[in-house]
Structure 1
């Protein structure tokens, strides 16, 4: 059995052909999913997906902050997020997707403020964070310094080097391993994942994004998790059975409710 710890199953490409995808998931033995929100526009859709098999997260993705800023609703939307998360605390398994992204025009000060709010919320609800970090691992570390606790969260879709990964793991975070390791050109990330402690790793697709080598002409999907696993096995010294058992254990612990 597999757990896709980061996939956007509320997106139209899945919802428009839901039965087909469900069949694919069953064939691939992907039985658990974590579906994170990207912002106010999909909070209610995410809540509708919540179930024993579909764990969910509520948050505001950094790449979706700018429209809220332009509409002068960001502060109010953060307060709404807090209220909605508290109201549904028994139905959510994480706060996120949230974090920082260097590629976007949104000022880093605004990104940091929104991220800090969501860190506080996760701490208050004793939930893990689902963190988006693009060229901002140092600011992620600074934001979480002194916040160490059991099950702090995961940096999803990791594509950095070993030093960056170790810095995040040392904070108490897990590392989300996805399609990046299927590409031979991603040598620094492949080397990092090969060296990390096995108990710090979970698998994900970030479907429908983060295309997989050999499948890049198709939308990414949770049913590709076994392909990512095969690449992980090639990188690791442990047997495939030990890796699969530990990955499942890590994922269940990370999103335990």
Structure 2
């Protein structure tokens, strides 16, 4: 039962023995509006509006010492995670963000980049973060150990948070849909209504999780400056 239940997350679809599941990670490129029109359409205006809002928010979080153009990295990360989360709600589209292959690769790459940049360019600043201000002398070794552990597990928490939220919603929808076979007709109508509410909730979760992952990555980056 559990193998059949979790098989919805297995990348098993193939054509000519070529796995096509992971191609879903680049389907989001089709939704990026083209900019070669003389008169921008509503999609292009909405894209620019969201990008500008995210740029202003990330700029405030990164602080005045951030490098120029660094916000575009996090804007791209937000749209990449959002498209993969949202498109996974459609039938027969593989949810790549429900696997640690994608989420851990993103979070670990960003975290390693931040750490290498911080320890190479701002070594003293990074040492200061290991000991909070006002810590007694006797507790300093323990605080360094605790802060080091909390820093090391950051990429894992980012990846697991995204993966667990995607898996939980999809499993709940799958479990409820599998019970509709043995239900009477009047309960099936109620089940469809519940499924619609769950889809709306999962759509909100896909946006919220993309935003949370991006904001946390931005905060981790701001600590290295």
Higher normalized helix content (fraction of residues): 2
- After TM superposition, the score normalised by the length of structure 2 is 0.26
- After TM superposition, the score normalised by the length of structure 1 is 0.24
The structure showing larger relative contact order (alpha-carbon pairs under 8 Å, at least 6 residues apart) is 2
Greater C-alpha radius of gyration: 2
Higher normalized strand content (fraction of residues): 1
